[in-house]
Amino acid sequence: MNYYELGEKFLEQKQWEEAITSYRQAIKLNPTFSWSYYKLGQALTQLQKWDEAVNVYRQAIKLNPDFPWSYHNLGNALIKLEKWSEAVIAYRQTIKIKPDSYWDYNKLGEALVNVGEFAEAIVCYQTAIQLKPEVKGTHQKLADILFQIGKLEAAEIAYRQTIKLNPEVVWYRQCLGDVLLKQKRLDEAIATYLEVAQIRPNLPWMHLQLGDALAQLSQSNLDKTINYYCHAIQNPDQYPIYQKALHLIIKNPELYLQLGKALAQANQISSAIIIYYILLEIFPPKNQTEIYQQLEKILRQKIKLEQQLNSYYAAVETNPDSQSYYYLGLTLTQQQKWLEAAIAYHHAIELNPDFAWWSDTYLWETFEKLGKLEETVNLFHKFIKHQNTSISTYLNLAEALTQVGRTKEAIKYYQIACKNHVNKSHEIFVQKHSNSEQLSQPYFLIIGVVKGGTTSLYSYITKHPQILPSVKKEIHFWSFNFHRGIDWYQAHFPPILESTKFLTGEASTTYFDAEYAACRIFHFFPKIKLILILRNPIDRAVSHYYHQVRSNKEFRSCELAINSQLEKLSEISHPYYWNYAGDYIASGVYVEFIKKWLAIFPKEQLLILKSEEFYSDSANTMKQVFNFLDLPDYQIQDYPKLNAGSYASISKSLREKLNNYFQFHNQRLEEYLGMKFNW
């Protein structure tokens, strides 16, 4: 028996190491036999030796370029290594030789999504579905990308097909509800979310979206909406959309009592009230005590919020300036009174068009819900037409254009804003390069962490005379805005010619724990320098919580919020921390995220700083940063601590609980990096 045949035997018996040894010997004796390389690649793949597998598959292709499965397996190995652009080439070659391979269209679509080629990815997924319509995952991937780029009708069709093929997966129903809500088909969205609640009652996002849908339905009159639901229960044949959802409520009212509590906790007051009134129609009188107690509690909460709202209305009457209208709009938004909020925001913008409205997610969310984004575009166009040429006004218009999908127009105004922004600190540079329309690329990125000191760090870096700031500190492109395209991203940076000594970069804390950020960045900018500043994960978690409170995104107590996240993670034996991006606790398990960044980027391209040392000795830290960026040292005059919040200390017992959780992970971090953090 020769070495090749021996390798076949070992492969059949799943003795991977022995198979590898045999195939290597076979190749040594006959280096021109392509099949030995192909089979060696299969054995290496079983042991997840992806780099070696890539090399042998390439050799197999070199010897036999007409065999499609070598390209197929090469593509699979490259995807495991997150080398998306190379995987695209491999799968395209497979399809060229074997055009009926539905799986290669599927995988090509996945690779194309990760390099930002969304239109071609959609075509690939559609082709894969035509070739094999019963494959479950392809419909879901197609639906996800269609939803992301705003093709809602097509996304709805794809999600419905996904649900048909995967009726047991609740997440797809949640996504369908989100699509219906975006289309303002509130009845159907609500019914879908109630179905989700029946299966998975503890999904926080579902509570928020259901609350949003109910609030929009009750926008004009809460009593009218309550009556509508009560009539639907009594006369279900007149309300066909609700038949299934109402049946679920009637079947399991205890579940929806918990849902009402969850909505109240998320500050979805009107929505919780609607749920409680529905339950009063369903529960027999003898079992209504708890409902009345909860309803009384939430009605008191509603009165308190209305009193708060009245105080803002009074403030507007007394002092009708932009700030007063803004806070009125913010309060109305939090109470989901979208129309009134939009009117207040509109007044605020007209009174102060120079304010940084582009950064306010509540404002854009409000205008989007009412379909008034185009009106906002026209409003900012009007300001610019009347010679209001501040940086923020251009940015506001660019953001409005981005929100309505007019990306090419948005790029133009981002570039103008960027030029004006840089002109404030580097006038000579702008004069010299003002005619340059080229899109620049960042030299460095601060990738995290949230509440670790990134605002101060970026501010200090941009004080260096050779650093030109981006027009926004946080662009969130690689995490949330990737679908907008690389040109949109690069428009946020000043045009820097290679012959100059200037550098630019940005700081978005959402990159650190965004699952695909590292591979996306590497695909476009493999030589970029990355900076990460780490803070004691306990202090970071608490600071993050209070930041969310100040931003009106968190309404639970600190103890409840943190304990609920600890409990959620403790229920999973091996949590996949990337699924919990943005959590107070999971985001502090730094070692899990750093491993992925260093699997993609060389270690010398990542500078890791300690937040505590950064603040205790800022001058020395900045010397280290400038050296990392290959810049001459520069003495900064002062080091103000920016974006810091003040809040009460957590209890000793909660700190001890957090310390017990993080201690093991901190030790792993120190061992992995060879650094001491002393947390």
Residue 269 has pLDDT above 60, yes or no: yes
Residue 90 has pLDDT above 90, yes or no: yes
The residue among 262 and 101 whose pLDDT is bigger is 101
The residue among 571 and 133 whose pLDDT is bigger is 133
The number of C-alpha atoms within 13 Å of 378 and in the hemisphere containing its C-beta is: 5
Question: Per-residue pLDDT averaged across 647-665, rounded?
Answer: 94
Give the chain's domains with CATH numbers.
3-231 (1.25.40.10), 320-433 (1.25.40.10), 444-673 (3.40.50.300)
Neighbours of 275 (CB within 10 A): 31
Q: What percent of the chain has a predicted confidence (pLDDT) above 90?
A: 65
d(CA 313, CA 176): 37
d(CA 471, CA 506): 9
d(CA 282, CA 310): 34
CA atoms 110, 111, 117, 122: torsion sign:
negative
Region of poorest pLDDT, from 193-197, 522-526, 605-609: 193-197
- Please identify which residue in the block is written with the tokens 């107690």: 293
Query: Is the bond preceding residue 449 a cis peptide, omega within 30 degrees?
Result: yes
Rg over alpha carbons for the chain, rounded to the nearest Å, is 28
Model confidence at 584, pLDDT cuts 50, 70, 90, reads very high
Region of poorest pLDDT, from 223-232, 305-314, 560-569: 223-232
Residue 241 has pLDDT above 60, yes or no: no
The rounded mean pLDDT for the chain is 90
What is the full DSSP assignment across 353-380?
Answer: TTS-GGG-HHHHHHHHHTT-HHHHHHHH
Question: Per-residue pLDDT averaged across 180-193, rounded?
Answer: 89
CA atoms 551, 555, 557, 559: torsion sign:
negative
Model confidence at 607, pLDDT cuts 50, 70, 90, reads very high
d(CA 246, CA 200): 17
Residue 198 has pLDDT above 70, yes or no: yes
Strands 444-448, 467-469: parallel, antiparallel or unpaired by DSSP? unpaired
CA angle 275, 281, 286 (to 5 degrees): 110
What is the full DSSP assignment across 238-278?
Answer: G-HHHHHHHHHHHH-HHHHHHHHHHHHHTT-HHHHHHHHHH
User: Which stretches within 506-647 are classed as H helix?
Assistant: 517-524, 537-550, 558-570, 590-600, 611-616, 618-628
d(CA 298, CA 226): 15
CA atoms 606, 609, 611, 615: torsion sign:
negative
Model confidence at 480, pLDDT cuts 50, 70, 90, reads very high
Q: Which of 248, 242, 245, 273 is nearest to 260 (CA)?
A: 273
Strand partners, 504: 468
Residue 75 has pLDDT above 80, yes or no: yes
Model confidence at 1, pLDDT cuts 50, 70, 90, reads low
Question: Per-residue pLDDT averaged across 470-489, rounded?
Answer: 95
Strands 444-448, 529-534: parallel, antiparallel or unpaired by DSSP? parallel
Residue 430 has what pLDDT?
66
- Which residue pairs, CB below 8 angstroms and at least 24 apart, start in 556-564? 556/265, 558/650, 558/654, 559/650, 559/651, 559/654, 562/650, 562/654, 562/658, 563/654, 563/657
The residue among 265 and 398 whose pLDDT is bigger is 398
d(CA 256, CA 613): 49
Q: Which of 442, 507, 519, 522 is nearest to 476 (CA)?
A: 507
pTM of this prediction?
A: 0.87
> Tens of pLDDT along 531-545?
999 999 999 999 999
Q: Which of 542, 540, 561, 551 is nearest to 648 (CA)?
A: 542
Question: Per-residue pLDDT averaged across 210-219, rounded?
Answer: 78
Region of poorest pLDDT, from 371-385, 439-453, 567-581, 659-673: 567-581
Tokens of 541: 């978690």
Tokens of 495: 């045009």
Question: Per-residue pLDDT averaged across 644-665, rounded?
Answer: 92
Question: Per-residue pLDDT averaged across 95-121, rounded?
Answer: 95
> Tens of pLDDT along 403-413?
999 999 999 99
